[in-house]
Amino acid sequence: MSIFDRLWGGGRKTPPQPKATTPAALSAEDSDLPGNVERRIRPRKNARQGTRALIIDDSPTVVAALRKVLRSAGYQTREALDAEHGLTLMEQEAPDLVFLDIILPGMNGFGALRAIRKNPAIQHVPVIMISGNEHATEQFYANRIGADDFMKKPFSRYEIFARIENLLDAELVPRRKADIAAGLAHSAATPTAPPP
């Protein structure tokens, strides 16, 4: 069959096969798709309802997409199209989590991240940097100056929640990675009293 037959529907089509729903069938069927099996079988661990997220991105499309995904899971969102406005919003009310684009008009995301980490009132807020750049240099630099995670555009709903899940503490509150590690070390070092 030629390519034209396929495009114009001239060939015989095979009916779609029903999707398997058991874990064993899913793992056999989707073994070539990384992460899909685990995502379908394992329930998503999500932040508590009402978690406040701040989205700082100059693309209205990215802001709208993140807003829709986060609000569908019970988050409260605020948005800023530039770093300066985002920092002002953070000083007015500290969010629980920030999504920060690297390429912004005026102050870029790296400058905003430095300002966040220098301000004692908001330096504890976890920041997920986002960028459309394919180079790992940005990710390395973002992590080095205090980002808690990094997402490359375009991203999926699954990736958004996977990044958030990496930052959740035992009470399902987003925390900086260093704070989570310190909390785990503290709880391991604290002896528990035997029951009376």
Digit-coded pLDDT (tens) for 117-169: 999 999 999 999 999 876 766 777 777 788 999 998 999 999 999 999 989 88
Using a pLDDT cut of 70, give the percent of the chain over it: 66
- The structural domains of the chain, ordered by start, are 44-179 (3.40.50.2300)
Cα dist from 12 to 3, 29, 162, whole Å: 13, 24, 41
In this predicted model, what pLDDT tens digit does every residue of 164-182 receive, in sequence order?
A: 998 988 888 888 876 666 6
Cβ atoms 127, 167 nearer than 8 A: no
Relative to beta strand 149-152, strand 52-56 is unpaired
Say yes or no to pLDDT of 99 above 50: yes
Quick: pLDDT tens for 47-87: 778 899 999 999 999 999 999 999 999 999 999 999 999 99
pLDDT at 171: 84
Q: What is the pLDDT of residues 21-39, one digit of tens each?
A: 444 444 444 444 444 445 5
Q: Do 67 and 78 contact (CB within 8 A), yes or no?
A: no
Greater pLDDT, 89 or 142: 89
Range with the lowest mean pLDDT among 4-8, 57-61, 103-107, 117-121?
4-8
Using a 10 angstrom Cβ sphere, with 0-12 exposed, 13-18 middle and 19 or more buried, the burial of residue 110 is: buried
Q: Report the pLDDT value the prediction gives residue 2, as an integer from 0 to 100.
A: 54
Cα separation, 148 vs 33, in Å, equals: 26
Helices and strands (H, E) in the chain, number of each type: 9, 5
Q: Length of the chain in residues, anyone?
A: 196
